[in-house]
Chain A
Amino acid sequence: MNVRLASPFRSYTGGEANVTAEGTTADDVLRDLDRRYPGIRFRIVDEQGRLRQHVNVWADGERVRDLSVSVVGAAELTVMQALSGG
Protein backbone atom coordinates (compact mmCIF):
# COMPACT_ATOMS: atom_id res chain seq x y z
CA MET A 1 0.00 0.00 0.00
CA ASN A 2 0.99 3.60 -0.25
CA VAL A 3 2.41 5.16 2.91
CA ARG A 4 2.14 8.92 3.03
CA LEU A 5 4.65 10.58 5.34
CA ALA A 6 4.74 14.01 6.93
CA SER A 7 7.90 16.06 6.36
CA PRO A 8 9.70 15.12 9.64
CA PHE A 9 9.89 11.48 8.49
CA ARG A 10 11.16 12.10 4.99
CA SER A 11 14.85 12.28 5.88
CA TYR A 12 14.53 8.49 6.16
CA THR A 13 13.04 8.07 2.68
CA GLY A 14 15.37 10.26 0.69
CA GLY A 15 12.81 13.03 0.74
CA GLU A 16 9.95 10.92 -0.63
CA ALA A 17 6.52 11.76 0.77
CA ASN A 18 4.87 8.64 -0.66
CA VAL A 19 6.47 5.23 -0.36
CA THR A 20 5.33 1.63 -0.46
CA ALA A 21 5.11 -0.88 2.38
CA GLU A 22 3.03 -3.99 2.91
CA GLY A 23 1.38 -5.80 5.79
CA THR A 24 -1.91 -7.02 7.18
CA THR A 25 -1.88 -4.80 10.27
CA ALA A 26 -0.67 -1.25 10.77
CA ASP A 27 2.17 -2.64 12.88
CA ASP A 28 3.14 -5.02 10.05
CA VAL A 29 3.23 -2.12 7.62
CA LEU A 30 5.43 -0.06 9.92
CA ARG A 31 7.82 -3.00 10.38
CA ASP A 32 8.01 -3.47 6.62
CA LEU A 33 8.55 0.25 6.24
CA ASP A 34 11.48 -0.03 8.65
CA ARG A 35 13.01 -2.84 6.60
CA ARG A 36 12.90 -0.58 3.56
CA TYR A 37 13.91 2.60 5.40
CA PRO A 38 15.91 1.58 8.49
CA GLY A 39 15.29 3.64 11.61
CA ILE A 40 11.97 5.18 10.56
CA ARG A 41 9.77 2.96 12.76
CA PHE A 42 11.47 4.20 15.96
CA ARG A 43 10.40 7.73 15.02
CA ILE A 44 6.76 6.58 14.84
CA VAL A 45 6.55 4.16 17.77
CA ASP A 46 8.69 3.93 20.90
CA GLU A 47 10.58 0.88 22.17
CA GLN A 48 7.42 -0.42 23.82
CA GLY A 49 5.53 -0.34 20.52
CA ARG A 50 3.41 2.67 21.51
CA LEU A 51 2.70 5.41 19.01
CA ARG A 52 4.80 8.42 19.99
CA GLN A 53 2.93 11.34 21.45
CA HIS A 54 1.75 13.71 18.69
CA VAL A 55 2.32 11.09 15.98
CA ASN A 56 -0.94 10.01 14.39
CA VAL A 57 -1.73 7.28 11.87
CA TRP A 58 -4.71 6.88 9.55
CA ALA A 59 -5.72 4.03 7.24
CA ASP A 60 -7.70 5.41 4.31
CA GLY A 61 -8.61 8.41 6.44
CA GLU A 62 -9.69 6.42 9.49
CA ARG A 63 -7.66 7.05 12.62
CA VAL A 64 -5.59 4.06 13.76
CA ARG A 65 -5.27 4.07 17.54
CA ASP A 66 -4.37 0.38 17.88
CA LEU A 67 -1.54 -0.69 15.60
CA SER A 68 -2.69 -4.32 15.69
CA VAL A 69 -5.82 -3.40 13.76
CA SER A 70 -6.17 -4.96 10.29
CA VAL A 71 -5.46 -2.69 7.36
CA VAL A 72 -6.28 -5.32 4.75
CA GLY A 73 -8.00 -3.61 1.85
CA ALA A 74 -6.77 -0.15 2.72
CA ALA A 75 -4.98 1.71 -0.06
CA GLU A 76 -3.04 4.17 2.04
CA LEU A 77 -1.52 4.52 5.48
CA THR A 78 -0.92 8.14 6.47
CA VAL A 79 1.65 9.02 9.16
CA MET A 80 1.45 12.58 10.41
CA GLN A 81 3.06 14.56 13.21
CA ALA A 82 1.18 17.22 15.13
CA LEU A 83 3.66 19.90 16.12
CA SER A 84 3.25 21.58 19.48
CA GLY A 85 5.26 24.05 21.48
CA GLY A 86 7.59 26.81 20.34
Chain B
Amino acid sequence: MPGRGRAVSDTESAIDPTAMYRRPAWEPSGAEPAVDRSGPVLLVGTRKGLWVLAADTDRRRWSMAGPMFLGHIVNHAVLDPRDRSTLLVAASTGHLGPTIFRSTDLGATWWEAAEPPAFAEGDPLGRSLRSTFWLTPGHADEPGAWYVGGSPQGLFRTEDGGDTWAPVSGWNDHPNFVEWAEWPEQGTPDGSMLHSVIVDPRDARHLYLGLSGGGIFESTDGGADWAPLNLGVEAEFLPDPDPAYGQDPHCVRLHPAMPDRLYHQNHCGIYRLDRPGTRWTRIGDNMPREVGDIGFPIELHPRDPDTAWVFPMDGTDVWPRTSPDGRPAAYVTRDGGASWQRQDSGLPARGWLTVKRQAMCTDDADPVGVYFGTTGGEVWASADEGGHWELVVSHLPEIYSVEHADPADRS
Protein backbone atom coordinates (compact mmCIF):
# COMPACT_ATOMS: atom_id res chain seq x y z
CA MET B 1 0.00 0.00 0.00
CA PRO B 2 1.43 3.38 -0.92
CA GLY B 3 1.61 5.88 1.89
CA ARG B 4 0.98 9.58 1.91
CA GLY B 5 4.58 10.43 1.08
CA ARG B 6 5.76 11.37 -2.34
CA ALA B 7 6.34 8.74 -4.95
CA VAL B 8 9.95 8.64 -5.99
CA SER B 9 9.43 6.32 -8.90
CA ASP B 10 8.46 8.96 -11.42
CA THR B 11 11.99 10.14 -11.97
CA GLU B 12 15.11 8.54 -13.29
CA SER B 13 15.24 6.52 -10.08
CA ALA B 14 12.33 4.39 -11.23
CA ILE B 15 13.39 0.99 -10.12
CA ASP B 16 12.34 -2.51 -10.78
CA PRO B 17 15.11 -4.70 -9.48
CA THR B 18 13.27 -7.81 -10.49
CA ALA B 19 13.42 -6.64 -14.09
CA MET B 20 16.87 -5.16 -14.02
CA TYR B 21 19.09 -8.06 -13.07
CA ARG B 22 21.72 -7.71 -15.69
CA ARG B 23 25.33 -8.60 -15.30
CA PRO B 24 27.52 -5.54 -15.83
CA ALA B 25 30.63 -6.10 -17.92
CA TRP B 26 32.80 -5.52 -14.89
CA GLU B 27 31.09 -8.01 -12.62
CA PRO B 28 33.77 -10.60 -11.95
CA SER B 29 31.90 -13.81 -11.33
CA GLY B 30 31.14 -15.88 -14.41
CA ALA B 31 30.71 -14.96 -18.04
CA GLU B 32 27.02 -15.57 -18.74
CA PRO B 33 24.16 -13.63 -17.25
CA ALA B 34 22.55 -15.50 -14.40
CA VAL B 35 18.91 -16.23 -15.03
CA ASP B 36 18.21 -18.36 -11.98
CA ARG B 37 17.47 -15.97 -9.15
CA SER B 38 15.95 -18.46 -6.74
CA GLY B 39 18.77 -18.28 -4.21
CA PRO B 40 19.46 -15.71 -1.52
CA VAL B 41 19.11 -11.99 -2.19
CA LEU B 42 21.50 -9.48 -0.66
CA LEU B 43 20.61 -5.84 -0.05
CA VAL B 44 23.83 -3.83 -0.24
CA GLY B 45 23.69 -0.36 1.28
CA THR B 46 26.55 1.95 0.40
CA ARG B 47 27.69 5.49 0.91
CA LYS B 48 26.39 6.25 -2.58
CA GLY B 49 23.23 4.20 -2.98
CA LEU B 50 21.64 0.76 -2.87
CA TRP B 51 22.45 -2.33 -4.91
CA VAL B 52 20.68 -5.70 -4.91
CA LEU B 53 22.45 -8.98 -5.56
CA ALA B 54 20.61 -12.22 -6.34
CA ALA B 55 22.10 -15.71 -6.39
CA ASP B 56 21.08 -18.89 -8.10
CA THR B 57 20.05 -21.91 -6.07
CA ASP B 58 23.64 -23.13 -5.74
CA ARG B 59 24.80 -19.66 -4.70
CA ARG B 60 27.51 -19.82 -7.35
CA ARG B 61 26.21 -17.27 -9.85
CA TRP B 62 25.10 -13.81 -8.96
CA SER B 63 23.31 -11.04 -10.77
CA MET B 64 22.92 -7.47 -9.72
CA ALA B 65 20.48 -4.55 -9.83
CA GLY B 66 21.34 -0.97 -9.13
CA PRO B 67 22.29 1.62 -8.32
CA MET B 68 19.10 2.70 -6.63
CA PHE B 69 19.02 6.12 -5.00
CA LEU B 70 22.42 6.90 -6.48
CA GLY B 71 24.11 9.60 -4.46
CA HIS B 72 22.08 8.97 -1.32
CA ILE B 73 23.77 7.54 1.75
CA VAL B 74 22.13 4.16 2.40
CA ASN B 75 22.96 3.02 5.91
CA HIS B 76 20.66 0.02 5.96
CA ALA B 77 18.12 -1.79 3.78
CA VAL B 78 15.91 -4.55 5.20
CA LEU B 79 13.16 -6.71 3.74
CA ASP B 80 10.30 -7.40 6.14
CA PRO B 81 10.58 -11.09 7.11
CA ARG B 82 6.88 -11.09 8.00
CA ASP B 83 5.37 -10.32 4.58
CA ARG B 84 8.61 -10.84 2.61
CA SER B 85 7.72 -7.94 0.32
CA THR B 86 8.00 -4.67 2.24
CA LEU B 87 11.43 -3.18 1.76
CA LEU B 88 12.62 -0.23 3.84
CA VAL B 89 15.73 1.81 3.14
CA ALA B 90 17.31 4.00 5.81
CA ALA B 91 18.87 6.85 3.88
CA SER B 92 20.53 10.12 4.65
CA THR B 93 19.99 12.39 1.73
CA GLY B 94 23.31 14.14 1.60
CA HIS B 95 22.91 17.42 3.44
CA LEU B 96 19.14 17.20 3.19
CA GLY B 97 18.67 15.12 6.30
CA PRO B 98 17.43 11.61 7.04
CA THR B 99 14.53 9.71 5.55
CA ILE B 100 13.04 6.31 4.90
CA PHE B 101 12.26 5.05 1.41
CA ARG B 102 9.65 2.31 1.14
CA SER B 103 8.61 -0.24 -1.39
CA THR B 104 5.83 -2.74 -0.95
CA ASP B 105 6.44 -4.46 -4.26
CA LEU B 106 10.10 -5.31 -3.88
CA GLY B 107 11.35 -2.18 -5.52
CA ALA B 108 9.03 -1.88 -8.52
CA THR B 109 7.83 1.41 -7.04
CA TRP B 110 9.26 3.50 -4.23
CA TRP B 111 7.73 5.99 -1.83
CA GLU B 112 9.28 8.28 0.69
CA ALA B 113 7.86 8.18 4.21
CA ALA B 114 5.18 10.86 4.64
CA GLU B 115 6.51 11.56 8.13
CA PRO B 116 10.14 10.42 8.32
CA PRO B 117 11.77 9.69 11.70
CA ALA B 118 12.45 12.91 13.59
CA PHE B 119 12.80 14.07 17.16
CA ALA B 120 9.81 15.87 18.60
CA GLU B 121 9.40 19.52 17.68
CA GLY B 122 10.44 21.61 20.63
CA ASP B 123 12.65 18.80 21.93
CA PRO B 124 14.08 20.05 25.26
CA LEU B 125 17.59 19.05 24.14
CA GLY B 126 17.13 20.68 20.74
CA ARG B 127 17.97 17.45 18.97
CA SER B 128 17.48 17.01 15.25
CA LEU B 129 18.02 13.67 13.55
CA ARG B 130 21.00 13.61 11.22
CA SER B 131 20.73 10.05 9.97
CA THR B 132 18.54 7.00 10.07
CA PHE B 133 21.12 4.35 10.85
CA TRP B 134 19.52 1.03 11.78
CA LEU B 135 16.30 -0.75 10.79
CA THR B 136 14.61 -3.52 12.78
CA PRO B 137 11.27 -5.10 11.85
CA GLY B 138 8.86 -5.35 14.78
CA HIS B 139 7.44 -8.46 16.38
CA ALA B 140 5.62 -11.03 14.25
CA ASP B 141 2.41 -10.16 16.12
CA GLU B 142 2.77 -6.49 15.19
CA PRO B 143 2.66 -6.37 11.39
CA GLY B 144 3.61 -2.95 10.13
CA ALA B 145 5.70 -2.13 13.21
CA TRP B 146 9.37 -1.26 12.71
CA TYR B 147 12.06 0.48 14.73
CA VAL B 148 14.72 2.88 13.52
CA GLY B 149 17.86 3.74 15.46
CA GLY B 150 19.43 7.05 14.61
CA SER B 151 22.26 9.44 14.98
CA PRO B 152 22.04 11.24 17.41
CA GLN B 153 21.03 8.21 19.44
CA GLY B 154 17.25 8.39 19.11
CA LEU B 155 14.76 5.55 18.75
CA PHE B 156 11.76 5.81 16.44
CA ARG B 157 8.82 3.54 15.65
CA THR B 158 6.28 3.13 12.88
CA GLU B 159 3.09 1.13 13.01
CA ASP B 160 2.08 1.53 9.38
CA GLY B 161 4.91 -0.16 7.55
CA GLY B 162 7.19 2.85 7.56
CA ASP B 163 4.97 5.64 6.19
CA THR B 164 4.71 7.64 9.42
CA TRP B 165 7.20 7.52 12.29
CA ALA B 166 7.08 8.76 15.87
CA PRO B 167 9.78 9.14 18.51
CA VAL B 168 9.88 6.45 21.21
CA SER B 169 9.56 8.84 24.10
CA GLY B 170 10.43 6.22 26.73
CA TRP B 171 13.94 6.18 25.30
CA ASN B 172 14.43 9.62 23.75
CA ASP B 173 13.07 11.44 26.81
CA HIS B 174 14.32 9.00 29.45
CA PRO B 175 15.50 10.89 32.56
CA ASN B 176 18.90 9.21 32.16
CA PHE B 177 19.28 9.83 28.42
CA VAL B 178 21.95 12.48 28.78
CA GLU B 179 23.88 10.26 31.20
CA TRP B 180 23.58 7.05 29.17
CA ALA B 181 23.78 8.35 25.62
CA GLU B 182 26.45 10.46 23.99
CA TRP B 183 24.88 13.88 24.14
CA PRO B 184 26.22 16.24 23.01
CA GLU B 185 27.59 13.80 20.46
CA GLN B 186 31.17 12.69 20.80
CA GLY B 187 31.11 9.53 18.75
CA THR B 188 32.76 8.38 15.59
CA PRO B 189 33.21 10.69 12.59
CA ASP B 190 29.84 9.38 11.44
CA GLY B 191 28.32 10.37 14.79
CA SER B 192 27.02 8.55 17.82
CA MET B 193 24.71 5.75 16.78
CA LEU B 194 21.77 3.81 18.17
CA HIS B 195 21.88 0.35 16.64
CA SER B 196 21.07 -3.32 17.25
CA VAL B 197 17.42 -2.78 18.13
CA ILE B 198 16.31 -6.31 19.06
CA VAL B 199 12.75 -7.56 19.60
CA ASP B 200 12.42 -10.76 21.63
CA PRO B 201 10.52 -13.21 19.39
CA ARG B 202 8.63 -14.42 22.49
CA ASP B 203 7.52 -11.00 23.70
CA ALA B 204 6.99 -7.84 21.64
CA ARG B 205 7.49 -5.72 24.76
CA HIS B 206 10.96 -7.13 25.48
CA LEU B 207 13.53 -4.99 23.65
CA TYR B 208 17.27 -4.47 23.58
CA LEU B 209 19.29 -1.71 21.93
CA GLY B 210 22.95 -0.79 21.57
CA LEU B 211 24.65 2.59 21.71
CA SER B 212 27.99 3.41 20.11
CA GLY B 213 28.99 4.53 22.53
CA GLY B 214 26.95 4.13 25.66
CA GLY B 215 26.34 0.41 26.07
CA ILE B 216 23.48 -2.07 25.81
CA PHE B 217 20.06 -1.32 27.31
CA GLU B 218 16.97 -3.46 27.92
CA SER B 219 13.27 -2.70 28.15
CA THR B 220 10.59 -5.13 29.32
CA ASP B 221 7.65 -2.78 28.82
CA GLY B 222 7.72 -2.00 25.13
CA GLY B 223 10.24 0.80 25.43
CA ALA B 224 8.58 2.83 28.19
CA ASP B 225 11.54 2.32 30.53
CA TRP B 226 15.08 1.05 30.07
CA ALA B 227 17.96 -0.32 32.14
CA PRO B 228 21.67 -0.86 31.35
CA LEU B 229 22.85 -4.42 30.64
CA ASN B 230 26.62 -4.15 30.50
CA LEU B 231 28.11 -5.96 33.49
CA GLY B 232 31.35 -7.68 32.60
CA VAL B 233 31.87 -5.66 29.40
CA GLU B 234 35.19 -3.88 29.35
CA ALA B 235 35.67 -0.23 28.47
CA GLU B 236 39.39 0.36 28.07
CA PHE B 237 38.70 3.99 27.25
CA LEU B 238 37.05 4.70 30.63
CA PRO B 239 38.75 5.01 34.03
CA ASP B 240 36.35 2.48 35.61
CA PRO B 241 37.21 -0.94 34.13
CA ASP B 242 33.73 -2.36 34.81
CA PRO B 243 31.21 0.47 34.54
CA ALA B 244 27.43 0.02 34.50
CA TYR B 245 27.22 1.83 31.16
CA GLY B 246 29.40 3.81 28.79
CA GLN B 247 30.78 0.81 26.87
CA ASP B 248 30.89 0.66 23.09
CA PRO B 249 28.97 -2.32 21.67
CA HIS B 250 29.36 -2.44 17.90
CA CYS B 251 26.79 -5.13 17.06
CA VAL B 252 24.42 -7.14 19.27
CA ARG B 253 22.58 -10.28 18.15
CA LEU B 254 19.93 -12.47 19.80
CA HIS B 255 19.66 -16.07 18.65
CA PRO B 256 16.20 -16.63 17.16
CA ALA B 257 16.09 -20.28 18.21
CA MET B 258 17.39 -19.60 21.72
CA PRO B 259 16.18 -16.08 22.55
CA ASP B 260 17.88 -16.10 25.94
CA ARG B 261 21.24 -16.16 24.20
CA LEU B 262 22.88 -12.88 23.19
CA TYR B 263 26.20 -12.34 21.45
CA HIS B 264 27.89 -9.06 20.88
CA GLN B 265 30.98 -7.68 19.20
CA ASN B 266 32.23 -4.78 21.25
CA HIS B 267 34.88 -2.13 20.72
CA CYS B 268 36.66 -4.10 23.47
CA GLY B 269 36.10 -7.77 22.71
CA ILE B 270 33.54 -10.44 21.83
CA TYR B 271 30.94 -11.33 24.46
CA ARG B 272 28.14 -13.80 25.17
CA LEU B 273 25.31 -13.57 27.68
CA ASP B 274 22.77 -16.25 28.53
CA ARG B 275 19.73 -14.74 30.21
CA PRO B 276 18.45 -14.45 32.83
CA GLY B 277 22.12 -13.86 33.63
CA THR B 278 23.26 -10.26 33.59
CA ARG B 279 27.06 -10.55 33.38
CA TRP B 280 28.63 -10.89 29.94
CA THR B 281 31.47 -13.38 29.34
CA ARG B 282 34.35 -12.30 27.09
CA ILE B 283 34.42 -15.26 24.71
CA GLY B 284 36.86 -13.29 22.57
CA ASP B 285 39.54 -14.23 25.10
CA ASN B 286 39.57 -17.55 23.26
CA MET B 287 40.61 -15.94 19.98
CA PRO B 288 44.28 -16.20 18.93
CA ARG B 289 46.23 -13.50 20.78
CA GLU B 290 47.92 -12.27 17.61
CA VAL B 291 44.51 -11.66 16.00
CA GLY B 292 42.65 -10.30 19.00
CA ASP B 293 38.89 -9.91 19.33
CA ILE B 294 38.21 -6.43 18.00
CA GLY B 295 35.74 -5.92 15.15
CA PHE B 296 32.35 -4.60 14.12
CA PRO B 297 29.84 -7.32 13.07
CA ILE B 298 28.91 -10.62 14.69
CA GLU B 299 26.55 -12.91 12.80
CA LEU B 300 24.74 -16.05 13.90
CA HIS B 301 23.84 -19.42 12.45
CA PRO B 302 20.07 -19.38 11.88
CA ARG B 303 19.57 -22.72 13.63
CA ASP B 304 22.61 -23.49 15.81
CA PRO B 305 22.88 -21.16 18.82
CA ASP B 306 26.51 -22.19 19.39
CA THR B 307 27.74 -20.97 15.97
CA ALA B 308 28.73 -17.38 15.23
CA TRP B 309 31.01 -15.53 12.82
CA VAL B 310 33.14 -12.43 13.32
CA PHE B 311 35.54 -10.52 11.08
CA PRO B 312 38.46 -9.37 13.26
CA MET B 313 39.96 -5.90 12.99
CA ASP B 314 43.35 -4.67 14.15
CA GLY B 315 42.86 -3.03 17.55
CA THR B 316 46.51 -2.46 18.37
CA ASP B 317 48.44 0.78 18.65
CA VAL B 318 46.28 3.47 17.04
CA TRP B 319 43.50 1.01 16.18
CA PRO B 320 43.80 0.71 12.37
CA ARG B 321 40.56 -1.33 12.25
CA THR B 322 41.76 -3.25 9.20
CA SER B 323 42.50 -6.98 8.93
CA PRO B 324 45.11 -7.86 11.60
CA ASP B 325 48.59 -8.05 10.04
CA GLY B 326 47.01 -7.44 6.62
CA ARG B 327 45.75 -11.01 6.50
CA PRO B 328 41.97 -10.98 6.12
CA ALA B 329 39.92 -13.76 7.65
CA ALA B 330 36.61 -14.50 9.27
CA TYR B 331 36.57 -16.53 12.46
CA VAL B 332 33.85 -18.97 13.43
CA THR B 333 32.95 -20.53 16.74
CA ARG B 334 30.85 -23.68 16.86
CA ASP B 335 30.87 -24.09 20.62
CA GLY B 336 29.46 -20.81 21.88
CA GLY B 337 32.81 -19.05 21.89
CA ALA B 338 34.96 -21.66 23.70
CA SER B 339 37.09 -21.96 20.56
CA TRP B 340 37.43 -20.18 17.22
CA GLN B 341 38.58 -21.36 13.79
CA ARG B 342 40.16 -19.19 11.11
CA GLN B 343 38.36 -19.02 7.72
CA ASP B 344 40.48 -17.41 5.01
CA SER B 345 40.27 -19.79 2.05
CA GLY B 346 39.71 -17.75 -1.09
CA LEU B 347 40.41 -14.40 0.54
CA PRO B 348 43.49 -12.44 -0.56
CA ALA B 349 46.65 -13.45 1.25
CA ARG B 350 47.35 -9.80 1.86
CA GLY B 351 44.62 -7.23 2.29
CA TRP B 352 43.60 -4.46 4.65
CA LEU B 353 39.86 -4.93 4.66
CA THR B 354 37.37 -3.15 6.89
CA VAL B 355 33.90 -4.60 7.45
CA LYS B 356 31.35 -2.39 9.17
CA ARG B 357 28.78 -3.50 11.71
CA GLN B 358 25.83 -4.04 9.32
CA ALA B 359 28.02 -5.35 6.49
CA MET B 360 28.00 -9.07 7.35
CA CYS B 361 25.11 -11.52 7.30
CA THR B 362 24.07 -15.13 6.99
CA ASP B 363 21.32 -16.74 4.95
CA ASP B 364 19.05 -19.57 6.10
CA ALA B 365 20.14 -22.28 3.66
CA ASP B 366 21.87 -25.55 4.56
CA PRO B 367 24.81 -25.23 4.61
CA VAL B 368 24.53 -21.63 5.72
CA GLY B 369 25.76 -18.90 3.38
CA VAL B 370 27.91 -16.22 4.97
CA TYR B 371 28.45 -12.82 3.34
CA PHE B 372 30.36 -9.63 4.00
CA GLY B 373 30.95 -6.30 2.29
CA THR B 374 34.02 -4.11 2.65
CA THR B 375 34.59 -0.39 2.82
CA GLY B 376 36.54 -0.94 -0.42
CA GLY B 377 33.32 -1.87 -2.21
CA GLU B 378 33.69 -5.65 -2.44
CA VAL B 379 31.08 -8.27 -1.53
CA TRP B 380 32.40 -11.71 -0.57
CA ALA B 381 30.28 -14.85 -0.25
CA SER B 382 30.72 -18.32 1.18
CA ALA B 383 28.20 -21.05 0.36
CA ASP B 384 29.72 -23.46 2.88
CA GLU B 385 29.60 -21.67 6.22
CA GLY B 386 32.87 -19.84 5.70
CA GLY B 387 34.87 -22.80 4.40
CA HIS B 388 35.68 -20.99 1.16
CA TRP B 389 35.10 -17.40 0.05
CA GLU B 390 34.41 -16.04 -3.42
CA LEU B 391 34.34 -12.47 -4.61
CA VAL B 392 30.83 -11.64 -5.83
CA VAL B 393 31.30 -8.04 -6.89
CA SER B 394 33.90 -5.31 -6.61
CA HIS B 395 34.16 -1.59 -7.32
CA LEU B 396 31.03 -0.62 -5.44
CA PRO B 397 31.16 2.46 -3.21
CA GLU B 398 32.01 2.10 0.48
CA ILE B 399 29.71 -0.61 1.79
CA TYR B 400 27.74 0.14 4.94
CA SER B 401 25.37 -2.83 5.08
CA VAL B 402 24.75 -6.27 3.62
CA GLU B 403 21.45 -7.89 4.56
CA HIS B 404 20.01 -11.22 3.47
CA ALA B 405 16.48 -11.17 2.06
CA ASP B 406 14.11 -13.92 1.01
CA PRO B 407 11.50 -12.20 -1.15
CA ALA B 408 8.19 -13.95 -1.65
CA ASP B 409 7.86 -12.84 -5.27
CA ARG B 410 10.87 -13.38 -7.48
CA SER B 411 9.12 -12.96 -10.81
Contacts and interface: CB of A to CB of B under 8 A. Distances in A.
Contacts of B403: none
A46 B8 CA distance: 21
Contact of A52 (B13, B96, B118, B122): B96
For the residues of B in contact with A, the DSSP-based class is loop
B162 to A, nearest CB: 14
Interface string B70-94: 0000000000000000000000011
B8 A48 contact: no
Contacts of A50: 128
A14 B56 CA distance: 38
A47 B128 contact: yes
B112 interface: yes
B128 A12 contact: no
B95 A81 contact: yes
A55 interface: yes
A38 B5 contact: yes
Given A38-B5, A38-B6, A50-B128, 13 more contacts: A9-B96, A11-B8, A12-B6, A37-B6, A39-B6, A39-B114, A42-B116, A43-B93, A53-B95, A55-B95, A55-B96, A81-B95, A82-B95
Nearest to A43: B96
Contacts of B4: 38
Given A14-B10, A48-B126, A50-B128, A81 B96 contact: yes
Interface residues of A, number: 25
A40 to B, nearest CB: 9
A75 interface: no
Contact of A8 (B93, B112, B122): B93
A53 B346 CA distance: 44
Interface in B108-133: 112, 114, 116, 118-123, 126-129
